[in-house]
Structure 1
Amino acid sequence: MQYTKHVTGTKAKLKIYCDEFNERIRVDEYSGNFSEITRLIEDSAREHSAHKVIIKARAEQLLNFLEKGYVLEAVIKGFFAGSDVYFLGKYKTEARKMSTHWEKSEKIFSDVQDLKQDTKNPLHKFQLHKGEVKDAERLAALYEKVFPVYPVPLHDPEYVRKSMESGTVFLFIEKNKEIISAASAEVDMLNGNAELTDCATLPSYRGGGMMKQLLAGLEDELVKRKIFCVYTIARSLSYGMNAAFKQLGYRYGGRLVNNCYIYDKMEDMNIWWKDLSQE
């Protein structure tokens, strides 16, 4: 079960994303007395038996959270309507803290660092389609084929439909009426940012540059909406996804250890970000 709830104390309040599937809670917003903020966070972690606590912290409270034992894992420039966000983590179990694939992730990251920004026109330009409610079942079918496990229930057409209705933009490429590659942008109009996510390509069609074209298409759509802070949270074990964002000019922001269940296990996730106003 995954849902957002508001927690209110006498001198503080929080907006918390409760994620039982991934055994974590994420504090998306907080205000008020700092001591009460941290107490409410700890109470919520115990209530939900969270193995990891994630906080989207602002610069003003960064040192205070570090003094409480939180660890800085990643940064995104301009996330809060121009102000930076600091992803902080605290682990409640030893197993959740220990990354079991760190060496492989580091090798992939090192290899990706050698890539240059790719500004060449692709050999083949694919036609991009904007997802509509009627496409939800075909999109869900793609995600079910690509991801045995995913942090959110993208294999459920109803979930995809609700995502669209809440403002998420899907772009996809199809062949013979089958969607073979897709990606989405979850737009936060209030803070002026968007997460590029739900990137999936059928195995037999990978390597043809489709994903980079989808991501570039989403960037164009976001600029039209005056959304300039764009980021992604990519599997650290996926060379292809990390390479795609590096070649598109994204900057590495850090790694979230044992962040979520994806593909077939609990994995570390790399953050990449970009300021589209500088393009």
Structure 2
Amino acid sequence: MAEQVEIFGNSLVQHDQATRRATLALLDPEDAPNVIHHLELLAVSRGYTKVTARVPAAHIRHFVVAGYRLEAAIPHFYGEGETACFLARHFGDAPDPERMPLLLRRILAATEMQSLAGPVPLPEGGVLRSVEPAEIGEVVSLYRTVGVAKSAAVDDPIFLDNVLGRGDLFLGLWIEGILVAACAAIFDPATGTAELAHFVVLPEHRGKGLALLLLQRIAELSAACGARLLWSAARAYAPGINITFAKGGYHYGGTLTNSTSIYGAPESVNVWHKCLAEDPALAWSSLFLTNSD
């Protein structure tokens, strides 16, 4: 069964019978703390093993009292500088330990050794720009060639058409006319943030800094669109993408344990975030738009 979306009051809850997980994706302060009871009833009635929530720090106490634990945080996520807290509660008797703690620690240690990278040059014969609706077929082919690690629907033309239709960014890199890499920025106008997702690079083009090039350019475009903060949830067991975020000046915000399913197996994700005000060139770019942007 596909992921289901429910509205409780003015809050948004997503849940999936296949993964036995539920997520409070959007909390309306008026629904706290009643939504916590709703989440518990949902988990118990459906046999879900884990419930996660992203909530403003001002409301975390209600969740902690109900048995939730803090896994990650992003400062200044909401207006007036309020922190976004990523919480989780386990249901049932089965434990929910980190599957690969040693690998996770090694990857995080590697990210701590990285210094801020300079601008990555465009490769010879390369073109880096937003994907046009007529090019959706090329993007679908790219994701199908590389393989989709999780059910994000990025190899579905309808999904991609909706992404472009609602104003989100999909950035593509073509070399000699062939699409070799892509990523997306998913905007949240209510918070002024953008989630960076769906990074993909053809295997034969990896190790050339293309993911970092995409990260740098999509930050510029997101700032020009009015985003003030960028964040992402990167696969915890994939060293390349975590090192890329560290080189891009992003801060590690915590690890969401076993929060997603990769190739059918549970996997943790690392939360990375960056306030665009930290980079004056990006913070002011939205004020100096030109017709070429």
TM-score, structure 1 as length reference: 0.91
**Structure 1, residues 103-155: CA drift from partner, whole Å, max 9, x if none?**
11111111111111112554847421211211222112222222343131111
Q: For structure 1, which segment, 65-74 or 175-184, has the greater mean C-alpha deviation from structure 2 after superposition?
A: 175-184
Give me the CA root mean square deviation.
Answer: 2.0
More divergent stretch after superposition (88-97 vs 150-159): 88-97
Q: Distance in 2 between matches of 1:278 and 1:239?
A: 25
* Higher RCO (C-alpha 8 Å, min separation 6): 1
Name the one with the larger strand percent: 1
> Is the partner of 1:32 in helix, strand or coil?
helix
SS of the aligned residue for 1:128 comes to strand
Alpha-carbon distance in 1 for matches of 2:128, 2:18: 32
Kindly provide the amino acid, as one letter, of the partner of residue 278 in structure 2: Q
Distance 1:68 1:185, change over 3 A: same
Once the two structures are superposed, the pairs formed by residues 174-193 of structure 1 within 5 Å of their partners are 174-193=174-193
Structure 1 distance, partners of 2:202, 2:145, is: 7
Q: 1:34 to 1:223 in 2, by over 3 A?
A: closer
Tell me the residue number matched to 2:50.
Answer: 52
Corresponding residue for residue 101 of structure 1: 100
Q: Cα deviation per residue 1:21-56 (whole Å; 9 max; x = unaligned)?
A: 433211121333645222111122234432221111
1:32 to 2:27 alignment:
no
Cα gap change, 1:200/1:261 in structure 2, threshold over 3 Å: closer, same or farther? same
Q: Unpaired runs of 5+ in structure 2? A: 280-293
Higher deviation after alignment, 16-25 or 181-190? 16-25
Separation in 2 of the partners of 1:42 and 1:69? 11
Do the aligned partners of residues 263 and 240 (structure 1) sit closer, same or farther apart at CA in structure 2, a change above 3 Å counting?
farther
How much has 1:256 moved relative to structure 2?
A: 0.4
Aligned to 1:207: 207
1:233/1:61 Cα in 2 relative to 1: closer, same or farther (>3 Å)? same
Tell me the residue number matched to 2:164.
Answer: 164
Hey, what's the Cα distance between the residues in 1 that align with 2:218 and 2:201? 16
Give SS of 2:76's match: strand
Moved more, 48-57 or 82-91: 48-57
Task: Tell me how far 1:177 sits from its aligned partner.
Answer: 3.9
In structure 2, relative to structure 1, the CA distance for the partners of 1:79 and 1:96 (3 Å cut) is: farther
Runs of 4+ in structure 1 displaced over 6 angstroms?
none
Q: Hey, what's the Cα distance between the residues in 1 that align with 2:31 and 2:216?
A: 42
Match of 1:217 in 2: 217
Shift of residue 101 of structure 1?
A: 1.3
* Letter paired with 1:7: F
CA deviations 1:145-169 (Å, max 9, x no partner) are 2234313111111111112112221
The 3-state SS of whatever aligns with 1:141 is helix
Letter of the aligned partner of 1:131 in structure 2? Answer: V
Q: Give the secondary-structure state (helix, strand or coil) at the position aligned to 1:78.
A: coil
Partner of 1:198: 198
Q: Counterpart in 2 of 1:72?
A: 70
Residue 56 to residue 154, structure 1, CA distance change in 2 (3 Å): same
Alignment of 1:223-238 (within 5 A): 223-238=223-238
**Letter paired with 1:260:** T
Match of 2:276 in 1: 276
Pairs aligned (count): 275
Structure-2 separation of matches of 1:252 and 1:115: 12
Q: Does 1:14 align with 2:11?
A: yes
Q: Distance in 1 between matches of 2:208 and 2:191?
A: 34
Q: TM-score, normalised by structure 2?
A: 0.87
Q: Secondary structure at the match of 1:255?
A: strand
Cα shift readout 1:49-68 (whole Å, capped 9, x = no counterpart): 32221111111121221121
Q: Tell me, yes or no, if the aligned pair for 1:147 and 1:264 is still in contact at 8 Å.
A: no
Paired AA for residue 19 in structure 1: D
